[in-house]
Amino acid sequence: MKKTVAGKIGILGGTFDPVHFGHLRTAEEIGHELSLQRVFLIPAASPPHKIHDPVTPFDHRLAMVRLAVRESALLEALDLEGRRVGLSYSFDTLKELRSRFGMKAEIFFLVGSDAFIEIRTWKNYQALFEYANFVIIPRIGSDLGTLHNFILGLDKDVKKQDRKNVYTMSSGNNVIILRSTLLDISATGIRDMVRGGKPITFLVPEAVRTYIHREELYRVHENNR
């Protein structure tokens, strides 16, 4: 187990069904770029936005994240959403992290632009900016102008800093748009490939690939899971 730290920490939440090199490279690269001491990958137990889609049991998704983070000293799996009952809201997770790491910890919430653009649908979304800085990673095809206007519309006192792509919210926390190497990989694509008998080598860590095959994940159609 890696030593737990407080200070500057990053978190990347997701369904991770399964975790892949797109997630891992982003977490690693942003973590280095912002000199974070640790980036926690937090699988959602019951993702509210996937309530109508069948999702692989939490224990499998967590096991795959644990295998994946072994490849990096910076990344760590955190199972706190699995220990809560009910839907997994980022608001509850941030509150829990605050009480775990204290008020002095600087938290950076890493999120792809595709997910961030939905933030108005998240529980208590305005309060999220009280708890953490946000780092938005533009996904392939996302338009920076749209993202810029979207951020300005979130908070009437938001201030764009002279530094490129840094916005300070009225809470004092920042929203930062930061590019990372874009790997055009999606968990949906990986599940489809496994189901279609295609190789997923070089899309996920080898230990994750072996786990998927050993546990016979993603063999049957999602609706029959």
Residues forming contacts to ligand ATP in the complex (CB under 6 A) are: 12, 14-17, 22-23, 26, 111-112, 114-115, 137, 183, 185-188
Query: Do 137 and 30 form a contact (C-beta atoms < 8 A)?
Result: yes
Task: Identify the CA nearest to 38 among candidates 71, 84, 2.
Answer: 2
Shorter beta-carbon distance to ligand ATP: residue 32 or 159: 32
Asked if 31 contacts 75 with a C-beta cutoff of 8 angstroms, the reply is yes
Nearer to ligand ATP, 13 or 168 (CB): 13
Tokens of 5: 């730290």
Residue 162 CB, nearest approach to ligand ATP (Å): 27
Partnered with residue 189 across adjacent β-strands are none
Identify which of residues 22 and 205 has a Cβ nearer to ligand ATP in the complex: 22
Q: What DSSP state is assigned to residue 185? A: -
We find the least distance from the C-beta atom of residue 69 to ligand ATP, in angstroms, to be: 14
Task: Name the residue with the smallest CB distance to ligand ATP.
Answer: 112
Q: Which two tokens stand for residue 84?
A: 């809560």
Classify 221 as helix, strand or coil.
coil
Q: How far is the CB of 118 from ligand ATP (least distance, A)?
A: 10
Nearest one of 23, 9, 19 to 112, comparing CA atoms: 23
Q: Which amino acid is at 32?
A: H
Question: How many other CB atoms are there within 10 angstroms of residue 190's CB atom?
Answer: 24
Q: What are the phi and psi torsion angles at 164 (to 5°)?
A: -60, 135
Amino acid residing at 10: G
Closer residue to ligand ATP in complex, CB, 26/174: 26
Nearer to ligand ATP, 6 or 117 (CB): 117
Helix (H, G, I), strand (E, B), or coil: what is residue 111?
Answer: strand
Structure tokens at 87: 């839907």
Nearer to ligand ATP, 137 or 194 (CB): 137
Closest approach, Cβ 157 to ligand ATP, in A, equals 26
* Nearest to ligand ATP of 173, 180 (CB atom): 180
Q: Minimum Å distance from CB 181 to ligand ATP?
A: 9
Q: How far is the CB of 163 from ligand ATP (least distance, A)?
A: 23
CB of 67 to ligand ATP, least distance (A): 16
